[in-house]
């Protein structure tokens, strides 16, 4: 009897020791640095269960033992807290750290930067080409209704929702700027402000010039002068689908179009691009000048003039510059 009791005690002790060793092994595997030798991006699809996640992480080399991952998730009671998405797993991340990362929801942030002055057609084309987005944009939004800037998104976000965010951002900014506009502007509605801002956007890429370029068009509108803006003519010819690909001709400037501001007074019927914040600000708070004309000066900017005679001299300088610098 005593012998049986001794054997039972020994067996119990052995089990305790074995259990302790197993627990130590599991904890060591759970806490020790993982196998990744380089930072690795892994996408966990929506609806993935713990077992599927463990298998995927193992196949990608982020963890050594799927069983240790599954046990860790179960003992911590966090199976429902693991979030889908695209994650950046750092070098040698432990299994515990992997679980913590999946619980955090700190997914990879992607960026799409849209330059000011792109048309809605061009913006949609860039969104369609952007990596890791899903779905399509079925309808090109109205011209001028989107705000060009840098947008952050995650893998699996929908393209149409990203475009909708651009529209909401434009509406919010325009509302704020319209409320703070200068008095007595020759634009009666926010839409007219967008139309004029789109022209300013296409006329200059020099940030510091925008308030002066805006002042020229504001002054011309106040005097009933035609805007005579080349970019509006280009838009009438291309419909906003891309660049004209050549210089404008005299025939182009005489071609009937609602967007030809050489022939038609006032603003064109709609925006010719999607203006950015700076151009909207410039139109709603233009510089106070007497300028009525501007022409390229060869430095990337423009020479401004108050009178036609002065403008003609600036044009002559520009043409001399073009002859001396044919390329």
Residues 86 and 140 in one domain: no
- Residues 6 or more apart whose Cβ sits within 8 Å of residue 48: 56, 82, 84
Residues 296 and 236 in one domain: yes
pLDDT mean over 283-299? 95
> Cα 129 vs. chain centroid, distance in angstroms?
13
Band (pLDDT 50/70/90 cuts) for residue 26 is low
Residues 124 and 244 in one domain: no
Q: pTM of the full predicted structure?
A: 0.83
pLDDT mean over 294-306? 92
Residues 218 and 260 in one domain: yes
Residues 79 and 188 in one domain: no
Residues 160 and 82 in one domain: no
Q: How far is CA 21 from CA 4, 26, 66, in A?
A: 25, 9, 19
Residues 69 and 146 in one domain: no
DSSP helix/strand/coil, 85: strand
Spatial CA neighbour of 108 closest among 44, 166, 170, 173: 44
Is 253 part of any domain?
A: yes
Residues 278 and 155 in one domain: no
- Residues 6 or more apart whose Cβ sits within 8 Å of residue 100: none
Is 20 part of any domain?
A: no
Residues 255 and 194 in one domain: yes
Which of 9-13, 65-69, 81-85, 167-171 comes out lowest in average pLDDT?
9-13
Residues 92 and 127 in one domain: no
- The rounded percent of the chain whose pLDDT value lies above 70 is 92
Residues 254 and 291 in one domain: yes
Query: How many structural domains is the chain composed of?
Result: 3
Cβ neighbour number for residue 313 with a 10 Å cutoff: 14
Is 264 part of any domain?
A: yes
Residues 58 and 144 in one domain: no
- Residues spanned by the domain of 91: 31-108
- What are the tens digits of pLDDT across the range 235-250? 999 998 888 889 999 9
Is 23 part of any domain?
A: no
User: Looking at residue 102, which CATH number applies to its domain?
Assistant: 3.30.1490.480
């Amino acid at each position: 009897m005593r012998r049986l009791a001794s054997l039972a005690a020994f067996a119990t002790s052995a089990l305790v020791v074995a259990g302790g060793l197993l627990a130590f092994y599991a904890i060591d595997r759970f806490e020790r640095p993982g196998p990744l030798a380089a930072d690795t991006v892994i996408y966990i699809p929506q609806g993935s269960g713990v077992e599927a996640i463990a298998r995927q992480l193992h196949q990608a080399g982020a963890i050594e033992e799927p069983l240790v991952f599954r046990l860790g998730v179960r003992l911590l009671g966090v199976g429902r807290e693991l979030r889908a998405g695209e994650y950046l797993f750092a070098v040698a991340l432990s299994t515990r750290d992997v679980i913590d990362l999946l619980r955090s929801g700190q997914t990879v942030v992607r960026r799409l930067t849209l330059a000011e002055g792109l048309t809605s057609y061009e913006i949609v084309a860039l969104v369609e080409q952007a990596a890791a987005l899903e779905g399509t944009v079925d309808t090109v939004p109205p011209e001028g209704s989107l705000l060009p800037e840098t947008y952050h998104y995650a893998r699996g976000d929908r393209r149409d929702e990203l475009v909708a965010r651009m529209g909401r951002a434009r509406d919010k900014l325009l509302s704020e700027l319209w409320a703070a506009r200068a008095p007595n502007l020759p634009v009666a509605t926010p839409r007219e402000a967008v139309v004029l801002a789109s022209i300013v956007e296409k006329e200059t890429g020099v940030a510091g010039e925008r308030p002066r370029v805006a002042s020229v068009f504001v002054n011309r509108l106040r005097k009933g002068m035609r805007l005579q803006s080349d970019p509006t003519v280009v838009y009438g010819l291309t419909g906003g689908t891309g660049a004209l690909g050549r210089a404008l001709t005299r025939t182009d400037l005489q071609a009937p179009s609602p967007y030809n501001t050489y022939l038609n007074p006032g603003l064109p019927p709609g925006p010719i691009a999607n203006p950015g914040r700076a151009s909207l600000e410039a139109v709603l708070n233009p510089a106070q000048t007497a300028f009525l004309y501007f022409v390229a000066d060869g430095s990337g900017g423009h020479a401004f003039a108050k009178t036609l005679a002065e403008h003609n001299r600036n044009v002559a300088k520009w043409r001399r510059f073009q002859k001396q610098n044919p390329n």
